[in-house]
Structure 1
Amino acid sequence: MKNLIKDLKTFMILWSTQSLSQLGSAMTSFALTLWIYEKTGSALQTALLSICSYAPYVLMSIFAGALSDKWNKKKVMLVCDTFAACCTIMVLVLLKTDLLKPVHIYVLNIINGLMNTMQQPASDVAMTMITPKKYYQKTSGMRSFSNSLITILNPVLATALFAFGGMEIVICADLTTFVIAFMALLFGVTLPDISNEDVEGKGSLSESVKSGLKYLKEHELILTLILFLAGVNFVASAFDAVLPALILPKENGGEKVLGLVTSCAGIAMLTGSFIVTLLPKPQNRIRVIYLTMLISLGTENYLLAFGRTPALWCLGQIIGWLPVPIMSANLDVILRATIPVKMQGRVYSCRNTLQFFTIPFGMFMGGFMVDKICEPVMASDFAKGLLTILFGNGKGSGAAMMMFLLGVIGTVICLGFGRVLRKYKYTD
């Protein structure tokens, strides 16, 4: 145990403080989601909040990793976090002056997305640099644990703080966590130098980008896994856009129930994170990845589509999110053990572009389908009979219908890619 703590001391400092800052950011995002839905009542406009964050991330990520490999990782993280904090301060100023509108939040989220584009590959490589290879699976489980805890706590804390002091106190809590993480990174974390001339990236930016894409092209297993998870992300992001429209309008729903259901996802991920830290190395990590996603997408969407009570919604979240940390840890081990550290920034960024480009499309599709197709269909005479029996009636029944469609799409994606992934073998 002493050796473990000694070996992971720097990781512990960076992981714990960055996780705290992520909790603060997640609380603000949750509160702003409720604020926009209350103002507009639109699933699509609510989804635009996340679309504006992910669109620049997807578009620019492929270049960000190449720059990250050239630049000092610590400085990149400090600068990007500072810009993100400035955006949060701007929201607070607009709110205090009663000038805050959805369009302001969309613009600031675009800036936040750009900062996250640079910050994430630098952070991912930094985590690799300070983690001995023998602890990859354990630290992946720890990162999943913190992500799960954030998912549990952010809706609960955001709702409680919002009720106590309004949006202002939520944002102040967010800024406090930023200061703690910033100071810890500035004074408490030293990243080792990578003694390889390629780290400085003597080639041009375009050559660096091409080298990341070339690596993926030459490693079919990594590329196939990335494309599979792009499909998973499409369904998952559409799910995120649909969930508020399913729960908030219901008589037995509302903000508190949405917070409860969201927290259940975090509880499930927390449990999965504990499980993955205790599990031995699996014989076939690839099989674990696609089977866990089949269980997740093949159960959660159907339970939320046909469920009429908060208990069933919570059960769906638990079953759907429990396997996610197990999948993430096995994927993380494959990536970190396969991709050379000197290239991880540019390859991770190419991965981010390919794996996450479906998220804005999924969010848009989820919101659009609910607002423009599913809700109108369920409100028409056509829905009387079987559709009403399956998905209920009133506002929110269209969202239930969309959940069913996402379940079908997710199942098909997992079964299709499962057949492809079976031909690959990976050994640690």
Structure 2
Amino acid sequence: MLETETQQPELQSNMKGFMFFWSGQLVSILGSSIIQFVLTWWVTVETGSPLLLSLAMFVGFIPTIILTPIAGVFVDRWNRKALIGTVDFLQAAVTVVLLFLFMFDYVTVPILLIFLAARGVFQAFHQPAVMSLIPIMVPRKHLGRINSIDYFFNSIIFLIGPIVAAFLFKFLAIQHILWIDAASFVVAVIPLIFIKIPKLIKEKVEIKEKKKFFADFKEGFVFIKEKKGLLPLLSAFTGANFFIMPLFTLLNLFIYTTHGGTETNLAFILAFNQAGMIVGSILFIIWKGFKKKVLGVIIGLLCMYSGFMFLTFAPFQWFWFIGLGFLVIGFGLPMANISSQTIWQSIVPKEKLGRVMSVRIAIAQFTAPMGMILSGVIAVALARGIAKTETQAVADALAIKYIFIGATVLGIVFLAISWLFTSMRHVEKGIILIEDEEEKEALTEKKETKLETDDLFDAEPSPKLASVD
């Protein structure tokens, strides 16, 4: 005998509790952003190898992609509060181990790669658990705004994190900075102790133990496949992660080689990207986005591709021009992501959030490392061909520019196909997004008077599933 979950209809979402929990998570994210900068800089200084730098990013990313779908099943079956607390504790523990290794000068690149891989494993459980709490604790009418606020503060954190890390580097040894990351996880756990997560009613279901896990695992894939429009929507982001990745993989070379820039120029340009994300998040907090959320997805992704193409044609050392391109990219990111997140949270039943969201994350992100590796391989191959008629410096610069142009064009074509020839534009059909109680009451009254003649909806949406097929 195992149990599945359905939400108690009489239990109200604990909005204040979520905000308290969320504030602790922001502190944890700040600590992680500082340490990410510190460790990446350590690899750069110690090795001077772009290959090892890319490998450090790769080993931290791959565990999350591989394990997230599996972790999502456990998120739905285990106590979410205990799971998040345990993962935060484990992340703090491995950080403490690493800081002592740094203290006694025992850290090597392989040891650091193991540490980054371990963090990737923990994030595979942590991310879907936190994501699944949002629609459980936040009322549906506030989902869009909460997602916007979350995106806004994350943008602020990732803007100031590297700045804080660079400042600390001038006064503290790396092992002392690592204490900040460990302490941030402790701070994140404190709100978790006091908040009350709405309980879910247990409905007993007869099923064999051995088959239950695989059934739950498969259910996430099946739900996405069968729900009209979700798979094309997910594919649009999967394609974007593949076609945008060459920009972030080759950005350093684009600044240093193509434009003869410095680290200061690179930091300036990345600040434009974060500024765009902040502006986009503020806009969504105030405006709430399009009524039809899928339009926000399309326009946001088009902004990203447009900014990508714009910066590709920047004149030599016009770094402000490149910055404007990143400003547009940053602006499009929250528009696309917040709109998509709201759609998923409105469609997926609360008892399936963990497994569905984890599968969503894994599918959306699995093309990113492919784009990372292929962009490097293709850049080398193109440069070799161009070098037959040009100098090596010119060949390297042109290879990167050609890759940027090709990736952008293919990305736009892929997005157009997703919109015109799939069910992506119909993904919200049957979803009723209630913006306020007055609109809900008006909608209910309208339905009661038209119930016998309305062919589109024959009843209110199920409390477990905010759509009617």
The answer to whether structure 1 residue 345 and structure 2 residue 346 are counterparts is: no
User: Partner residue of 2:462?
Assistant: none
More displaced, 309-318 or 67-76?
Answer: 309-318
The answer to whether structure 1 residue 20 and structure 2 residue 27 are counterparts is: yes
More displaced, 303-312 or 347-356?
Answer: 303-312
The answer to whether structure 1 residue 145 and structure 2 residue 152 are counterparts is: yes
Deviation at 1:94, TM superposition (A): 3.0
The answer to whether structure 1 residue 306 and structure 2 residue 292 are counterparts is: no
After superposition, what is the alpha-carbon deviation per residue over 1:285-334, rounded to whole angstroms, capped at 9, x for unaligned? 21221221012123225404635333122212111110211111211111
Q: Secondary structure of 1:11's match? A: helix
AA in 2 matched with 1:191:
I
Alignment of 1:87-98 (within 5 A): 87-98=94-105
Kindly report the root-mean-square deviation, in angstroms, between the aligned alpha carbons of the 2 structures. 2.8
Question: How far apart in 2 are the matches of 1:313 and 1:273?
Answer: 21
Question: How far apart in 2 are the matches of 1:10 and 1:230?
Answer: 33
Alignment of 1:187-202 (within 5 A): 188-197=194-203
Residue 307 of structure 2 contacts residue 325 of structure 2 at CA under 8 Å; is this kept in 1?
yes
User: Partner residue of 2:76?
Assistant: 69
Question: How far apart in 2 are the matches of 1:101 and 1:304?
Answer: 37
After superposition, what is the alpha-carbon deviation per residue over 1:260-290, rounded to whole angstroms, capped at 9, x for unaligned? 3222221111110110111145242212212
Q: Secondary structure of 1:197's match? A: strand
AA in 2 matched with 1:228:
A
The answer to whether structure 1 residue 271 and structure 2 residue 279 are counterparts is: yes
TM-score norm. by structure 2 comes to 0.80
AA in 1 matched with 2:154:
N
Question: How far apart in 2 are the matches of 1:200 and 1:268?
Answer: 51
TM-score norm. by structure 1 comes to 0.88
Question: How far apart in 1 are the matches of 2:41 and 2:125?
Answer: 28
Alignment of 1:168-247 (within 5 A): 168-186=175-193, 188-197=194-203, 204-247=212-255
Deviation at 1:190, TM superposition (A): 2.0
Alignment of 1:2-81 (within 5 A): 8-81=15-88
Residue 47 of structure 1 contacts residue 367 of structure 1 at CA under 8 Å; is this kept in 2?
no
Q: Which one of 162, 165, 168 corresponds to residue 161 of structure 1? A: 168
Question: How far apart in 1 are the matches of 2:232 and 2:53?
Answer: 32
Deviation at 1:374, TM superposition (A): 5.0
Which structure 1 residue ranges, 5 or more long, are not aligned? 1-5
Which structure 2 residue ranges, 5 or more long, are not aligned? 1-12, 433-469
Deviation at 1:154, TM superposition (A): 1.5
Cα 1:263–1:100 change in 2 (3 A) is farther
AA in 1 matched with 2:196:
T
After superposition, what is the alpha-carbon deviation per residue over 1:396-416, rounded to whole angstroms, capped at 9, x for unaligned? 665445433332332232223
Question: How far apart in 1 are the matches of 2:206 and 2:67?
Answer: 20
Total equivalences in the alignment: 414
User: Partner residue of 1:3?
Assistant: none
The answer to whether structure 1 residue 318 and structure 2 residue 324 are counterparts is: no
Q: Secondary structure of 2:229's match? A: helix
Cα 1:374–1:173 change in 2 (3 A) is farther
Deviation at 1:376, TM superposition (A): 4.9
More displaced, 403-412 or 226-235?
Answer: 403-412
Deviation at 1:194, TM superposition (A): 1.2
Question: How far apart in 1 are the matches of 2:263 and 2:126?
Answer: 31
AA in 2 matched with 1:317:
F
More displaced, 418-427 or 143-152?
Answer: 418-427
Greater relative contact order (CA < 8 Å, ≥ 6 in sequence): 1
What percentage of residue pairs aligned between the two structures are identical? Answer: 23
AA in 2 matched with 1:278:
I
User: Partner residue of 1:335?
Assistant: 344
After superposition, what is the alpha-carbon deviation per residue over 1:372-412, rounded to whole angstroms, capped at 9, x for unaligned? 3355566x34335xxx9xxx749766544543333233223
Cα 1:296–1:68 change in 2 (3 A) is same
User: Partner residue of 1:408?
Assistant: 409
Question: How far apart in 1 are the matches of 2:277 and 2:290?
Answer: 19
User: Partner residue of 2:138?
Assistant: 131
Q: Secondary structure of 1:204's match? A: helix
Deviation at 1:237, TM superposition (A): 3.2
Q: Greater share of helix residues, 1 or 2?
A: 1
User: Partner residue of 1:363?
Assistant: 372
AA in 1 matched with 2:270:
T
AA in 2 matched with 1:239:
L
Deviation at 1:218, TM superposition (A): 1.0
Q: Which one of 266, 282, 294 corresponds to residue 258 of structure 1? A: 266
Of the two, which has the highest radius of gyration? Answer: 2
Residue 246 of structure 2 contacts residue 403 of structure 2 at CA under 8 Å; is this kept in 1?
no
Cα 1:216–1:169 change in 2 (3 A) is same
After superposition, what is the alpha-carbon deviation per residue over 1:214-245, rounded to whole angstroms, capped at 9, x for unaligned? 11121131111111111111133333222233
AA in 2 matched with 1:424:
H
User: Partner residue of 1:86?
Assistant: 93
Cα 1:374–1:40 change in 2 (3 A) is farther
Q: Secondary structure of 2:197's match? A: coil
After superposition, what is the alpha-carbon deviation per residue over 1:115-160, rounded to whole angstroms, capped at 9, x for unaligned? 1111111111122221111110110101111221122112211211
